[in-house]
Amino acid sequence: MMTLDILGVIGALKRVLPEATGPVPLHEPCFAGNEWVYVKECLDTGWVSSVGKFVDRFERDLAAYTGVKRAIAVVNGTAALHVCLKLVGVEAGDEVLMPALTFVATANAICYCGANPHFVDSDEKTLGLDPSLLADYLAEIGDVRVEGCFNKITGKRIRAIVPMHTFGHPVDLDMLADVCERYRIEIVEDAAESLGSFYKGRHTGHRGRVSALSFNGNKIITTGGGGAILTNDENLGALAKHLTTTARISHKWSFIHDEVGFNYRLPNINAALGCAQLEQISAFIGNKRALAQRYAEAFAGVAGIRFFTEPDFAYSNYWLNALLLDEADSTQRDALLEATNQLGIMTRPAWTLMHKLPMFADCQRMNLAAAENLECRLVNIPSSPVLGICNV
């Protein structure tokens, strides 16, 4: 029996959001610090391209904030994931496990390596991949050999797994690490949405040898575009920097490149923006968590829906706030999306599951019942950091 109170949802949103003369975006950047000063310095000095002091500073500041030994700034999060996968040895023909419920960039990066996405199911407690279901699945199809883990069905090597911290909420990394150690599978964290999120007191991005961040315009902080590779392995960090800067050997004038590299360099002018944004990240996350708290209170009594909150083991950045419809009300999702967007309150569904996209329809996958259930029940609501202080 359907119980979703769409008018109640709209009322809860209006109680939290400020009155606006135009649409309330899902997530927009906030430029309230030194952005103009740092970008102007780039323009005044002419250092706007692929090298400069802000690139070096941004990498140092990111490493310090996340607690890793090395951060390498790149042009976007997809590029970061691509190089991360290459760094852990993903090769053409390999399979890489990943959640079906994610943004398409995760699967695209795997394909850039000539590898094959292999989709796994999700956990409603985190919205990320489910390590327990994964363990059961690998017990059926995984064949552990000296050379690594192989898929009994396809015969291909399962080289890595890419957990994605959905909407900024960390997956259960300890359980996942236990499974991956047992099956000799490398972890590459897709932390694109989780800058400022912590798993059991430690920033996301530490569990595997490498992880990837994104600084797209709608992320916690932005460089316009941009991404980064995080690692605690100094040698991998040096190799990542080398590969993403066209694999050029440093010299005053000669152009010598010792392997096939990538022009994935983050321009100095973008890094300048990132430095200013990172100076404000504590305030951004404080505002976003305050907004999430107000949403949780506003939706507490609304029938047919609940506000998604962080797992017990996590301190989440609440990048995108999410509502989860009761299963009986999932058919009302589109009616809710239509009603809210007509009022100028931008809402959206979760991504289309990867195996439903034409280019990935034939990829290997486990039973995806939980992901399919979540896909039709999730609705994202306005989450900009400035909204966290709108009623203070």
- For 350-367, write each residue's pLDDT tens digit: 999 999 999 999 999 999
Could you give the maximum distance between any two Cα atoms of the chain, in Å?
A: 73
Cβ-contact 270, 228 below 8 angstroms: no
The tokens describing 290, both together, are: 């305050």
Q: Nearest CA to 186 among 177, 198, 173?
A: 177
What DSSP character marks residue 267? P
Measure the CA–CA gap between 95 and 312, rounded to whole angstroms: 32
- The pTM (predicted TM-score) of the whole model is 0.96
Cβ-contact 224, 197 below 8 angstroms: no
Cβ-contact 95, 362 below 8 angstroms: no
The tokens describing 73, both together, are: 């700034």
Q: Is the predicted pLDDT of residue 390 greater than 60, yes or no?
A: no
Q: Is the predicted pLDDT of residue 17 greater than 80, yes or no?
A: yes
What DSSP character marks residue 11? H
Q: Is the predicted pLDDT of residue 313 greater than 70, yes or no?
A: yes
Q: Is the predicted pLDDT of residue 148 greater than 80, yes or no?
A: yes
Burial class (CB in 10 A: 0-12, 13-18, 19+), 169: buried
C-alpha 27 chain-centroid distance: 14
The tokens describing 341, both together, are: 């967007």
Q: Domains in the chain and their CATH numbers?
A: 6-30+281-389 (3.90.1150.10), 35-278 (3.40.640.10)
Measure the CA–CA gap between 211 and 188, rounded to whole angstroms: 5
* Mean pLDDT on 256-262: 95
Q: Is the predicted pLDDT of residue 160 greater than 70, yes or no?
A: yes
Measured CA to CA in angstroms, residue 213 lies from 33, 46, 79, 261, 281 at distances of: 22, 27, 10, 20, 14
pLDDT digits (tens, 9 = 90+) for 90-110: 999 999 999 999 999 999 999
What are the two backbone dihedrals, phi and then psi, of residue 309, each rounded to the nearest 5 degrees? -120, 160
* Mean pLDDT on 280-289: 98
Residues 6+ apart with CB under 8 A from 223: 58, 73, 215, 266, 270, 271, 273, 274, 277
- Position 21 scores a pLDDT of 78
Per-residue pLDDT band for 389 (boundaries 50, 70, 90) equals: confident
Q: Nearest CA to 126 among 333, 299, 309, 336?
A: 309
The tokens describing 265, both together, are: 């360099």
Per-residue pLDDT band for 19 (boundaries 50, 70, 90) equals: confident
* Mean pLDDT on 311-324: 98
- Position 1 scores a pLDDT of 65
- pLDDT more than 90, % of the chain: 95
At 314, is the secondary structure helix, strand, or coil? strand
- Position 388 scores a pLDDT of 80
* Mean pLDDT on 60-75: 98
* Mean pLDDT on 207-236: 97
* Mean pLDDT on 48-71: 97
The tokens describing 342, both together, are: 């007509």
At 17, is the secondary structure helix, strand, or coil? coil
- Position 392 scores a pLDDT of 38
Measure the CA–CA gap between 39 and 54, rounded to whole angstroms: 10
- Position 112 scores a pLDDT of 98
Q: Is the predicted pLDDT of residue 391 greater than 70, yes or no?
A: no
Q: Is the predicted pLDDT of residue 375 greater than 60, yes or no?
A: yes
